[in-house]
């Protein structure tokens, strides 16, 4: 399914809670949590993963999460990142950050399989 620019803009306007024109990671998680699981196409999730895998090595690290958030105007120190992580907690794992909850092999980073499992 190919969307027009107008459709993308209209969709972004609906989910961009702070109206900054950027879909932040917390906004993305909010959208995904409220979507029926069957509508979360793997291609869409892979595209979202790639947006946060800034160096293209197949992993999302805390640093890449920080860098991606900086691109959306949110500059995060290490302390801020830990605080931010609490805002992106996964409902099934309320005491863990997104990276900790998804990082099943405990290597400190999230690979595509871990990301897809977390989001499905």
pLDDT (tens digit per residue) in 27-55: 887 777 776 655 557 778 888 888 889 99
Q: Would you call 28 exposed, middle or buried from its count of C-beta atoms within 10 A (0-12, 13-18, 19+)?
A: middle
pLDDT (tens digit per residue) in 56-90: 999 998 888 878 877 877 776 666 666 555 444 44
Measured between alpha carbons, how far is residue 92 from residues 42, 54, 89 in Å?
20, 27, 9
Tokens of 37: 């699981």
Average pLDDT over residues 86-100: 55
CATH class, domain 24-119, is mainly alpha
Tokens of 60: 């999302």
Q: 14 pLDDT exceeds 50?
A: yes
For the entire predicted model, the pTM comes to: 0.56
Q: 27, 16 in Cβ contact below 8 A? A: yes
Question: Residue 55: its pLDDT value, please?
Answer: 92
Domain extents in the chain: 24-119
């Amino acid at each position: 399914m190919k969307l027009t620019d107008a459709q993308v803009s209209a969709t972004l306007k609906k989910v961009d809670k702070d109206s900054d024109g950027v879909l932040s990671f917390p906004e993305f998680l909010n959208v995904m949590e409220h979507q029926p699981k069957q509508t979360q196409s793997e291609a869409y999730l892979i595209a979202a993963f790639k947006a946060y895998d800034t160096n293209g090595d197949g992993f999302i690290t805390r640093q890449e999460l920080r860098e991606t958030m900086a691109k959306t105007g949110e500059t995060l120190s290490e302390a801020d990142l830990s605080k931010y992580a609490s805002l992106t907690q996964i409902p099934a794992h309320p005491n863990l950050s997104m990276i900790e909850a998804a990082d099943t092999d405990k290597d400190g980073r999230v690979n595509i399989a871990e990301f897809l499992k977390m989001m499905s």
